[in-house]
Structure 1
Amino acid sequence: MEKTLKGIRAPSTIREAFDEWKDKQSNCLTKSKTLNALFEAGQNPIERDINMFWKKKGKSDTDTLGFEEFEELFIQLGNPRDVIRNALKHFDANENGKIDSDELREILKAAGELENTSQVTEDSYVALILSIGDRNKNHELEIDELVTMIQDGLIKR
């Protein structure tokens, strides 16, 4: 069910992701496989999201969920593009809908992408990302350009 274009994995549909990760005998997802299936479907959940859903449903860690509950969780998590876009807006200091090199550096630091790197390495990495995503060459990324880069896997979520 995985779709690729030049090595970039595109998210599967909710049903494809569920079917890819479900237990073939029970036709359900375990807690750990739910996380994998959500990633497959283009979501970026954290373990806390899964734990809260499990608790809300009164499930133990060994319980599973069927497609209807998986779909409910997917919808509850929200549109992945919107979730990423809203997170990036917090780094847009001048609120112009664009991310400059300083703002990009802060995003990358917050994501752990620049841990244990030198200033030269940080500068090179920021410049590389800007060169890939800055289509109009204004030394900034539109927030939507950066969202696409993150969803395409060019930048770790």
Structure 2
Amino acid sequence: MASLKKHLSCLFWHFFIIIGIFASAASPTEEATALLTWKASLNTDSQISLSSWVGSSPCNWTGIYCDNTGGVYNISLGSLSLSGTLDELSFSSFPSLQYLTLRNNWLHGSIPSQIGSLSQLTWLDLSYNRLSGAIPSTIGLLKNLTLSVILALPLGLSPAV
């Protein structure tokens, strides 16, 4: 009886650990919605570069790479002539994102402070865009970020105080 109780207790805890893992991860549908919302905010010509972005499964979309659970871990959209802002990109929808490359596009405006919610981010490249304003202090929350290439042409970014 004690062995059965111990076994059930162990099974119970494993069940809650697994539920906790899945509850903390964003669904591919949530990630797809976030990406499609951002795509819709971009200049019409930019949307042509992202024509594969349809449906609710982003893993087969241009520049989107998923891990074995189906979560987006890499957004690599460099040199696609994307024009618009980052304002409509819901950074918090990507809890597993490790790489974000948007270099050499026509992105303008400021870097939203919500970028600090990308807690798993290890690589950030926003170089060669038209970004301006202060670099948000929330960049400091990205403890896994080992290399950050944040440049703008013209050089309009400045560190937040």
TM-score normalised by structure 2 residue count: 0.25
User: Comparing both chains, which one has the higher relative contact order based on Cα–Cα distances under 8 Å and sequence gaps of 6 or more?
Assistant: 1
Query: Which one has the bigger strand percentage?
Result: 2
Higher helix content, 1 or 2: 1
Which protein has the larger Cα radius of gyration, Structure 1 or Structure 2?
2
